[in-house]
Chain A
Amino acid sequence: MGKVGGFIAWERIVPGKRPVGERLADWREVTVDEDPAETTRQAGRCMDCGIPFCHQGCPLGNPIPEFADLVWQGRWSEAYRRLAASNEMPEMTGRLCPAPCESACVLAIAPAELRALPTGEAGGVPSLVLPGAVTIEALEKAIAERAFAEGWVVPRPPRVRTGKRVAVVGSGLAGLAAAARLNRAGHVAVVYEAAARPGGLLRYGIPDFKLEKHVLDRRLAVLEAEGVEIRCGVTVGAPDGPSWEQLRAEHDAVIVATGAPRARELDVPGRDLGGAVLAMDYLTEPRRSSVPPAASHDVRGKHVIVLGGGDIGSDCLGTALRQGAASVVQIELQPAPPPDRSPANAWPAWPLVFRTSSSQEEGGVREFAFRTTHLEGQDGRLVALHGTRLDSGAAVRLPCDALILALGFTGPTATPPGVALDERGNIATDASYATSLPGLYGIGDVHRGASLIVWALAEGRDAAIAVDAALRR
């Protein structure tokens, strides 16, 4: 159970980040690896609570006190086994998860002290700095990286095949998690992916500075060695691809994991001016210094506005800074959240507080409570953005020659014909992810709406268990 009184003796320390100047000069991951001795101490801070709220806070229900204790005892390979049993890809959550587990950790209860520090922490979506919480996310990354380095992550193909076939449509984390598990249970799992390469938003969306793509490739190699077949360039339901009916006819089950890519639009005059792009188009290309971006997506020397104060806006901000934008303003419609939890937002709920992402600490200006009214153009090209400050009512004109729209997502673009949707347009399912069509399941963003990778992994895993049970019946 860690070290008695460890959390008193040692402060919470999260892995450091590279200096901003260095970060902006390349596309590599921002976070540096932690000294294993520090990781061990941090693991020793976990108290193995009678009610581990962390474990409840994690959508995957990861066995946090267990793996923390194993790390504390130096039993890293067992820690990996324990963690991998519930989390198919800890190297991803260890980098990208906003770690709701940490804000639910009992050591995060400190109403007076609860502050979002001026800097975001950990590599991925910036997680709130909580005074005392166990550094669970960093532990996950350390365990996963150690496991890869030591060669503990080996393909585990199934010993027997059941003869059942499952099609998984979409190779985002939800699809991959489901396929991995189903394959290991002995079913043939075939993943159909529309894009040229697998990985979903992890490959085409999340920038390298949060997740270097070799991390994804490393995992894909394991999955393929285990027998998961991934067919890229196949768009299910498109004229040139297999139809949903065909897929269902050829497989014992079909899992839809196609994501929620429909972007929310900006509905103001001037939207059609040249110079405005959707975040997902902007981010889609692999961001490596060696690959020159398409002209429309190159903001070098430009005055950039990112509309949308969320995580995706932040990713655009970081990308624009790395491309060498002259200036970047990130605008949010809502007022800035409070620095502390409000009474109605008590622990252990996810804290709705002001945060600063790693990209936001690298530069740029943040605006809150700002409504865009129209875009001003010259010769068909954008020159300025007009808006109103919601607090004062003042009208503002911001010069701008590149506008990136990161206003969030509104749901799936195309769904299997005939499947029941919920009121928000996502695929509706029961508790075991079964849709209204027999043998058809829906998981990940296509089911939840745009969400988090930890949810994608959780739904992938749980749907695999449900499908497996159904196939064995």
Chain B
Amino acid sequence: MHDIALLVGYGAAAVNPYLALDTVTSLRADRARYVQALEDGLLKVMSKNGISTVQSYRGAQIFEAVGLDAELVARWFTGTPTRIGGIGLAEPGDEARVRHARGFAPGADGLPVGGLYRWRRDGELHKWNPATVATLQDAVRRADRTRFDEFERLCDDEERALVTLRGLWTIDEPAAVAIPLEEVEPVAAIVARFVTGAMSFGSISAEAHETLAIAMNRLGGRSNSGEGGEEAHRFEVDANGDSRRSAIKQIASGRFGVTAHYLVNADDLQIKIAQGAKPGEGGQLPGAKIDERIAKARSSTPGVTLISPPPHHDIYSIEDLAQLVYDLTAVNPRARVSVKLVSEAGVGTIAAGVAKTHAACVVIAGYEGGTGAAPLSSLKHAGLPWELGLAEAQHVLVENRLRDRVRLQVDGGLRTSRDVIVAALLGGEEFGMATASLVATGCVMLRKCHLNTCSVGIATQDPALRAKYTGTAEDVVTYFTFVAEGVRRHLARLGARTLGELVGHADRLRVRPLAHAKAARLDFRGVRGVPAHHVALPRSFARAQPWDLADHLDHELLRRADATISGGAPVAIALPVQNSHRAVGTLLSGEIARRTGARGLPDGAITVALAGSAGQSLGAFLVSGVTLALAGDANDYVGKGMSGGRIVVTPPAGARFAPESNVIIGNVALYGATGGELFANGLAGERFAVRNSGARAVVEGIGDHGCEYMTGGVVVVLGPVGRNFAAGMSGGTAYVFDPAQTVRALTNMDLVELGAIGDDSDAWLVRELIAEHVRRTRSPLGGRLLDHWEAMASRFVKVLPTDYKRVLAARRARPASAVHLPVAG
């Protein structure tokens, strides 16, 4: 696959893989299927890179070479970045000769196994292999320091076998600078810099997920919710003082379970732009793994496969990202916002952009990590080592004098204290260990995460298998403590009292003299050095980002609604609004969620009448009990992430235009909403209700890409829809008033089917929603539809995802307690 993707990416118009085709034939396999697989694969590669057509992919050269000589690249792959130099044509030639000799030696028995994707004894070296896995598990279970030293030795030695860039370096620890171990900062200060990887509840079992959270909370480090939401009971502290709450809450493109309540229960809100091990690819959770519990946490439907869209639909530029950072800061001002990027060429520029969004932390994810769920096409040839990305981010941030405003976190295959030190020297301040922490809980790298058959009870939701789970928080604590102790020993040898002192001192790395033919020509000057004119610039975090919420409109709302939030009488507030007021209602919602939990306030508790043009993100993450009634219009992102409450938008008093033909709210309304209601007396922009999973909305017309990736909730559109309607929609229902019968042509039919308003409950639901719309907005169009309801009802088209329909039918056929979900495939 990679071959084909590379050839086309470098400009080939056609590829004839004749040898592969002949091989397929000789294996008596189906050539057509092979070709189909290549096609699908190429499509996948393109989509991961956000490219929709082969025309734009062909010749796009979206590659970076690692380990190729600059001259060779200039001659044959002109224009491709290659940062560390490396081999020319002779070395691959020699390898081909060796392979040939091996294949044609007398007595040769078939081809070697290879072991590229699965570890094999005589195959490719994998960093997680029987020895490292077993030694780590044995070390933590018995809390055996000697065994752990052995584990670190195995890992670090292996790296010397030239599998990682850091394996090519040594750390400069001259005896003269060493200090006594006692003078080095304590373990507690070091573990506070450690985080576990973003692994969602759903991809891993509740037991495993909570083990990591408890362990990190005990240590004072941070665990990461991943992108699957979190069960609310985990926000309470256990009787024994343990906390199962993930300190880092992730906000990914799918926005699963991202509610105000979720967001306020965090110390770190992490926007996942991409994942190192599968850049460009959203998470995917197969239906078989989605039981009632998981579905609840994600506000989705059990048994229905969930796909996170590759992009965030509210982020197309750094400005959009800044808006999301602002929204998140508003909903939870006590948490910091971090942004996760992947290690790739150009990540430095992006990191600088992120620093300007006022995010507090940039995460650089390398390609080594990643669950066994990552598709094979992403295991190899996708992403880059964190060493390169981190070094680049560090350089660009220092150069642009932005480094002191953000923290840099790094993850992707970190396992040992040496890894931590190398990462710190390259500029990292915080360190993520994802796979290693899972291995400490018993993961043995079955790579069966996507099949729900993990036999050690980690990446499965099958109760019988979960019963086999043996991981404990103690083991995870032991792991991180051992790493921290190792870090201390390194610090003593390096003569540093704190890890912080070393951040960004890449000059303490030395390149090992390398005898290996393929390594001999590498050149790390670009990675390790600090340019002389930058030596004086700050190399690590030093000062907080500017505070953006000072003039937020909600301060006034909070003042007036304070008593109501504490259980007092309902309150009605009227305020003018202007488009510099962003995320109105969001700060308020965060406070309500913090004080009242997931419940929020009773309906009607706080009513805010706004007049004017609202700025971006009106009612983002709104909660139950708050009604925002805006007379005027609103910018983009209305009701983004809304989890309750109500937004009503009507034209300004006295407007004389016909509401149903004028745009009243901007793009990307209700993105990732999990609940609540929106009534818009007018047209909405593009990408309406994308990834909505629970909100109900009535709107009088929408732009392109409406209801994309929706997984729940109800959308009633009284007017036109744009192109690509309902693409990737796997749940929820949309009803479109379609007198001109254009909806079919505009709908993306991949996952949905169209029908008429069916039984009575359908008709009742739609009619009630329209009636509510009319009551709240006095919509003339809505009024006319109700007046002639009998005739109009038949002109509605019902859009229902096929998979969702099947599951709903199955649920209706059985008592709720005994739902057994039919699973596709």
Contact surface of A with B, Cβ cutoff 8 Å: 4-5, 7-8, 47-53, 55-57, 61, 63, 65-66, 81-82, 84-85, 104, 106-107, 109-111, 132, 158-160, 181, 184-186, 343-344, 346-349, 468
Contact A51 B465 (CB under 8 A): no
> Can you give 16 A-B contacts (C-beta < 8 A)?
A8-B462, A49-B448, A51-B119, A51-B129, A53-B444, A56-B131, A66-B113, A106-B446, A106-B455, A106-B456, A109-B455, A109-B456, A181-B107, A184-B106, A343-B141, A343-B142
* B107 & A50 in contact (Cβ 8 Å cutoff): no
- Please pick, from B106, B119, B141, the residue contacting A185 in the complex, using a CB distance under 8 A: B106
Interface flag for B110 (CB, 8 Å)? yes
User: Does any Cβ of A come within 8 Å of B95's Cβ?
Assistant: no
A47, A82, A111, A468 interface centre (most CB from chain B within 10 Å): A47
Tell whether, in the assembled complex, residue B134 and residue A81 are in contact, meaning their CB atoms are under 8 Å apart: no
Any chain A CB within 8 A of the CB of B453?
A: yes
| B445–A50 CB distance below 8 A | yes
Give Cα A159–Cα B108 distance, bound, in whole angstroms: 13
SS class, residues of chain B in contact with chain A? loop
Question: A49 and B453 in contact (CB under 8 A), knowing A81-B110, A185-B106?
Answer: no
Complex Cα distance A67/B13, Å? 40
Given contacts A106-B444, A107-B455, A344-B142, contact A51 B130 (CB under 8 A): yes
Does B122 touch A at the CB level, under 8 Å? Answer: yes
**With A and B bound together, what is the CA distance between A85 and B470 in angstroms?**
37
Most B Cβ at <10 Å: residue of A51, A56, A61, A104:
A51
Residues A346 and B137 in contact, CB atoms below 8 Å apart? yes
Residues of B within 8 A of A109 (CB): 442, 444, 455-456, 468, 470
Residues of B within 8 A of A184 (CB): 106-107
CB of A53 within 8 A of CB of B107, answer: no
Kindly state whether residue B121 has any CB partner on chain A within 8 Å: yes
User: Given the complex of chains A and B, what is the CA–CA distance between A176 and B470 in angstroms?
Assistant: 45
Enumerate B126-156 residues with CB–CB distance to A below 8 Å: 126, 128-131, 133-134, 137-138, 141-142
B453 near A52 (CB under 8 angstroms)?
no
- Does the CB pair B451–A4 fall under 8 Å? yes
- Taking CB atoms, residues of chain A closer than 8 Å to B141 are 343, 346
**Which residues of B lie under 8 Å from residue A81 when comparing CB positions?**
109-110
Contact A8 B110 (CB under 8 A): no
Query: What's the nearest-Cβ distance from chain B to residue A61, in Å?
Result: 4
For A110, what are the chain B residues with a Cβ–Cβ distance below 8 Å?
468
User: How far is it, in angstroms, between the C-alpha of A344 and the C-alpha of B444 when the chains are bound?
Assistant: 18
Contacts A343-B141, A346-B141; A51 near B451 (Cβ below 8 A): no
* Contact A47-B455, Cβ < 8 Å, known A81-B110, A109-B444: yes
Please report the C-alpha to C-alpha distance between residue A109 and residue B133 in the assembled complex, in whole angstroms.
13
Q: A47-B448, A51-B118, A51-B444 are in contact. List 19 more A-B contacts (CB 8 A).
A: A5-B452, A5-B453, A8-B462, A47-B446, A49-B118, A49-B446, A49-B448, A50-B447, A51-B126, A51-B128, A51-B130, A52-B119, A53-B134, A84-B109, A109-B470, A132-B455, A158-B107, A184-B106, A349-B134
B140 to chain A, nearest CB (A): 11
Q: Which of A50, A82, A344, A347 contacts B372 (CB 8 A)?
A: A50
Asked if B451 and A160 sit within 8 Å, CB to CB, the answer is no
Is B514 engaged at the interface, CB distance under 8 Å to the other chain? no
CB-defined contacts of B131 to chain A, threshold 8 Å? 56
Task: Give A82's nearest chain B residue, CB to CB.
Answer: B110
State how many angstroms separate the Cβ of B127 from the closest Cβ of chain A.
Answer: 11
A51 contact from B109, B110, B445, B452, Cβ within 8 A: B445
Inside 8 A of A160's CB, which chain B residues have their CB? 106
> Is residue B464 within 8 Å, beta carbon to beta carbon, of the partner chain?
yes
B595 at the interface (CB under 8 A from A): no
- Asked whether A50 and B456 contact (CB < 8 A) given A158-B107, A186-B106, the answer is no
Interface positions of B from 333 to 351, Cβ below 8 Å from A: none
Give the nearest-CB partner of B138 in chain A: A346
- Which residues from A are CB-within-8-Å of B444? 49, 51, 53, 106, 109
Q: Is the CB of B134 within 8 A of A348?
A: yes
Q: Nearest 10 pairs between A and B by C-beta?
A: A50-B447, A85-B109, A56-B130, A185-B107, A61-B121, A50-B445, A51-B445, A51-B119, A184-B107, A49-B446
Min CB gap B379→A, angstroms: 10
When distances are taken between beta carbons in the complex, the residues of chain A under 8 Å from B138 are: 346
Binding site for A on B (CB under 8 A): 106-107, 109-110, 113, 117-122, 126, 128-131, 133-134, 137-138, 141-142, 372, 442, 444-448, 451-453, 455-456, 462, 464-465, 468, 470
CB proximity of B712 to chain A, nearest CB, Å? 28
Q: Which residues on A sit within 8 Å (CB–CB) of B452?
A: 5
Nearest chain A residue, comparing its CB with the CB of B444:
A106
Complex Cα distance, B118 from A5, in Å, reads 19
CB pair A49 B447 closer than 8 Å: yes
A346 to B470, CA, bound (A): 13
Complex: how many Å from CA A18 to CA B377?
50
Name, among B126, B372, B444, the residue most crowded by chain A CB atoms within 10 Å (CB to CB): B444
By a CB distance below 8 angstroms, the chain A residues around B456 are 106, 109
**Shortest beta-carbon distance from A409 to chain B in Å:** 29
Inter-chain contacts of B107 with A (CB < 8 A)? 158, 181, 184-186, 468
In the assembled complex, how far is the CB of residue A47 from the closest CB belonging to chain B, in whole angstroms?
6
Q: How far is the CB of B766 from chain A (nearest CB, A)?
A: 41
In contact, A53 and B130 (Cβ under 8 angstroms): yes
- When distances are taken between beta carbons in the complex, the residues of chain B under 8 Å from A63 are 113, 120
Is the beta-carbon distance between A61 and B465 smaller than 8 angstroms?
no
A113 to B, closest residue via Cβ: B468
Q: How far is the CA of A111 from the CA of B117 in the complex (A)?
A: 29
In the assembled complex, the Cα of A186 lies from the Cα of B106 at a distance in Å of 8
The distance in angstroms between the C-alpha atoms of A111 and B141, with both chains bound, is 12
**Set of chain A residues within 8 Å of B133, measured between Cβ atoms:** 51, 53
- Whole-angstrom distance between the Cβ of B300 and the nearest chain A Cβ: 23
Residue of B142, B445, B455 most packed against chain A (CB within 10 A) = B455
Once the chains are docked, how many angstroms separate the CA of A104 from the CA of B447?
A: 17
- Does A65 contact B118, Cβ atoms closer than 8 Å? yes
| B106 touching A347, Cβ below 8 Å | no
Closest-by-CB residue of B relative to A465 is B107
Contact B465 A8 (CB under 8 A): yes
Whether A5 and B119, one on each chain, are in contact in the complex, defined by CB atoms closer than 8 angstroms, is: no
**A104 vs chain B, min Cβ distance (A):** 8
A47 contacts B126, C-beta separation under 8 Å: no
Contact B120 A55 (CB under 8 A): yes
In the assembled complex, the Cα of A181 lies from the Cα of B105 at a distance in Å of 13
User: Which residues of the partner chain B approach A346 to less than 8 Å between Cβ atoms?
Assistant: 134, 137-138, 141-142
- Chain B proximity of A88: nearest CB distance (Å): 11
Do the beta carbons of B118 and A8 come within 8 Å of each other? no
B469 to chain A, nearest CB (A): 11
Does A50 contact B118, Cβ atoms closer than 8 Å?
yes
**Complex-state Cα separation, A61 to B121, whole angstroms:** 7
**Contact partners of A343 in chain B: CB under 8 A:** 141-142
A106 surroundings in chain B (CB, below 8 A): 444, 446, 455-456
Question: Measured between alpha carbons, how far is A55 from B122 in the docked complex, in Å?
Answer: 10
With CB as the reference atom, state the residue of chain B lying closest to A5.
B453
Q: Find chain A residues with CB under 8 A from B120 CB.
A: 52, 55, 61, 63
In the complex, which of the residues A5, A159, A184 has the most CB atoms of chain B within 10 Å of its own CB atom?
Answer: A5
Q: CB-CB < 8 A to A52: which residues of B?
A: 118-120
Residue from A55, A158, A349 whose CB has the most chain B CB atoms within 10 Å? A55
User: Are B137 and A49 touching (Cβ within 8 A)?
Assistant: no
A177 to chain B minimum Cβ distance, whole angstroms, is 13
Given A63-B113, A184-B107, A348-B134, check contact A4 B453 (CB 8 Å). yes
CB A233 to nearest CB in B, in angstroms, measures 30
CA A65 to CA B446, docked complex, whole Å: 12
Residue pair A49, B445 in contact (C-beta under 8 Å) = yes
Docked CA distance A348–B132 (Å): 12
A387 and B448 CA atoms in complex are apart in Å by 55
Chain A min CB distance to B765 (Å): 39
Give the docked Cα–Cα distance between A174 and B754 (Å). Answer: 71
**A185 partner residues in chain B, CB cutoff 8 A:** 106-107
Please indicate the chain B residues that have their CB under 8 angstroms from the CB of A349 in the complex: 134
CA separation between A250 and B346, bound complex, in Å? 67
**Are the CB atoms of A50 and B468 closer together than 8 Å?**
no
